[in-house]
Amino acid sequence: MAALCEAFTLCGLGPSGGVGLGSGLLALEPGADPDHVLLTDRGRTATLFKVSDQKPLGCWSVKHGQIITCPVVCNFETREYIAVHDNKVLRIWKDEDVNLDKTFKATLSAEVYRIHSLPHAEPLVLFKGGGVRTLDVLLEAPQQEIENVISDEVIKWSFPSLFQDGDFYVYVQKLKMRSLHKYKLEQQESSNPLSFTAYIKKQIITLLCLYSNDSVYKVLIPLQQNSEEEEQTLSKSLLLNLSISGSVLKGTSFVVLDKDHVAVLGSLAASECLTIWNTKFQTLQASKELPLGTSGQLWCYGEKFFFTHGKVLTVVIYKCETSSLAAAVGKLKDSQTSDLSSFVNWDTLGDEELPVSFQSQQSITLKSDSRMMPKPHISELHGVSHFQDAPTDAIEDELGRLFSKAQTPDFQATIGCVISALINRCKTDPTFYPRNFLVQMIQKRELSYSLCPDLMAVALEKKDVHLLQICLQRFPDIPEEITYACLKVFLSISDDYLERTDVNLESVISYIDIEPNNKEVKTEVVENGFNTELEEDGCGVTGMKENNTMDSVKFCPVGPHKAALLNAVLHSAYSETYLLPHLKDLPAQQAVLFLRYLHYLYVKCSEKINTTLPGVLSPTINQIMDWMCLLLDAHFTVMVMLPEAKGLLSSMHKFVRAQVRFYSELNKIEGSLQELQRLKFQNNCQAYSIEVLELI
């Protein structure tokens, strides 16, 4: 049984939304870590992404005028990256390298078609003329002559062991034995091959070909060759016919998932879709419509599909189980989900949202239907569902009882599905909102935004600040647009209203005091080498003033509840590229208030020797400074024009200037302090001595 699970966006591909991908995506390759992928654009840039966080870890570009001409790959043995630009220039670098112009460079004698890298093996360099070298052999003599295996042919596809050219010939090379075998593909009447994939098992290469007649063929190529024939013809057998209830899926690319399953990306009628097929039983197992269109390319690494969808790169998690006839026709029983199925609202769940355990109960027989995969009806499950009309308390109690049982392998996906179903009812029924259950699930389970993407949108609509606070603290993959929406809501709600709400104050209660007579929040001032103003003389700094800090930072500008919510925003992961455009839409008054709070936190951190605020999940000095810089970048012109912001900017400028001067003075005596440290270990002094040290 196979199923498509949750989907999420890895990055944008447009000129403004992408991370170096404005020219379009050339290829996607796995990184050294199973959670990393390398994206190469059709231009100058390669970007390393962490998939689970949807965040870029590194980005490297060649010079203007240069073009990366084949996909960047990772050498799994050395954890280095390999690229070729302008067809012949080889570059090798590591994570810590920033400027590609300063990394290893080798100019080759022939143009490179592609580099193949596999775990526990030396990377292979395939040249456009068909010659192949291992990377270590090539680097010994980069200008070595490369033989031409093909003459007038053009390589269309390759993988480590064979490649196929435009005239439908297959070449198999064995580098160690220096052997080359050429095969001719059996002609298919009125159809041409569109896409290829292959794997090796028991000294046999299995080459799978997707043809333009909407069929997948299998070709077997033995690695043990006894025949001396110069050219042999390979026969092929039909593996899969891509027909769905009389309609035909026009495939563009496909990948092999296991011995019984393949995934095909193609179009059906007017829409494109991603499908999983069981080749053993010739059945469609799962599908997902892609209304925004794709580029026709499909990649698969670590049980995840990667493909372009509109102007974004989308990731879809899938699951494949052992193939059986019962699973293929949707009759496989799963006793562990019988209790849950009676509470899931099937009418509000999309096909892509069904948990794996629920999908096993679907009928996958190909009936005439407008949808590729029919949904199960409530009557087909375990009686009438109480989900749509049951009161909130009853649903919370029942779901709490069910989820307290032992976890199943797909338990997390099931939770995400149930939460999505609850949120769907919240959208249609304003009186329904199982807040207690949602809070409990987020606090106790390792969930993510992509598992229940509409949850925070509903919480924003209902201004459930406690739920939003928990999500910001626990979800690792919140989009920057949602983070900004939370910030705007937190700043717009009054402190009086927040005092009546349930907010976790652990991040603020340790460093602010609430004055009972008025609703200001006052901080205890502890001077520790810093002050907002320093008296100057000819030498620079004469001393610190003994008075308290300025009135603008004596009190916290917001109440404790709002401060705790803003701290949750500061903890949320983000990419500056995506967040900055949203911050520019923040109203000026809210931007000034948020900047006052950041200034207050900055002063508080600077009062401590270790620049660390006490408390649980308190913001760090780096988080505070990063957000201050972001906010100033987004609103600097407005800040300069607003009268109420001028004093704040002046105060911040004086405070930062004082710190710079203080550290400058420390740097001046750094040499003397190091000399003292060196003299401390000299043991040539007597029992009593007087030493005079002159500090220069």
Q: What is the pLDDT of residue 227?
A: 53
Looking at the DSSP bridge assignments, the partners of residue 236 are: 219
Query: Model's pTM, two decimal places?
Result: 0.49
Average pLDDT over residues 71-87: 92
The predicted-structure confidence for 532-564, as pLDDT tens digits, reads as follows 443 333 333 333 333 333 444 567 888 889 989
Q: Are 45 and 59 in contact (CB under 8 A)?
A: yes
C-alpha–C-alpha distance, residues 490 and 498, integer Å: 9
Place of tokens 């969808």: 309
User: Mind giving me the DSSP string for 229-252?
Assistant: -SEEEEPEEEEEE-EETTEE-EEE
- Residue of higher predicted confidence among 662 and 530: 662
- Residue of higher predicted confidence among 304 and 517: 304
The predicted-structure confidence for 271-308, as pLDDT tens digits, reads as follows 788 999 888 888 888 888 888 888 888 999 888 999 99
Q: Are 630 and 576 in contact (CB under 8 A)?
A: yes
The predicted-structure confidence for 135-171, as pLDDT tens digits, reads as follows 999 999 999 988 887 776 677 667 654 444 445 677 7
Report phi then psi at 579, rounded to 5: -80, -35
C-alpha–C-alpha distance, residues 178 and 186, integer Å: 26
Q: What is the pLDDT of residue 474?
A: 86
For residue 350, name the pLDDT band (cuts at 50, 70, 90). very low
Residue 445 has pLDDT above 90, yes or no: no
Strand order in the sheet with 283-290: 250-258, 261-268, 271-278, 283-290
C-alpha–C-alpha distance, residues 218 and 403, integer Å: 45
Average pLDDT over residues 569-597: 89
Burial (0-12, 13-18, 19+ Cβ within 10 Å), 219: buried
Q: What is the pLDDT of residue 74?
A: 94
Q: What is the DSSP letter of 32?
A: S
How is residue 392 written in tokens?
């909130």
The predicted-structure confidence for 394-431, as pLDDT tens digits, reads as follows 676 667 666 665 555 556 666 777 777 788 888 888 88
Residue 355 has pLDDT above 70, yes or no: no
Mean per-residue pLDDT of the chain: 75
Q: Which long-range contacts (CB under 8 A, 24 or more apart) does 139-145 make?
A: 139/106, 142/90, 142/106, 142/107, 142/108, 142/109, 143/107, 143/108, 143/109, 144/109, 145/109
Q: Are 255 and 208 in contact (CB under 8 A)?
A: no
3-state secondary structure of 328: helix
For residue 565, name the pLDDT band (cuts at 50, 70, 90). very high
C-alpha–C-alpha distance, residues 257 and 259, integer Å: 7
C-alpha–C-alpha distance, residues 300 and 318, integer Å: 10
Query: CA–CA distance from 159 to each of 173, 198, 233, 569 (Å)?
Result: 11, 7, 20, 46
Q: What is the pLDDT of residue 341?
A: 36
C-alpha–C-alpha distance, residues 402 and 446, integer Å: 17
Place of tokens 């069981």: 278
- Residue of higher predicted confidence among 33 and 640: 33
C-alpha–C-alpha distance, residues 253 and 266, integer Å: 7
For residue 21, name the pLDDT band (cuts at 50, 70, 90). low
Of all residues in the chain, what percent carry a pLDDT higher than 90? 16
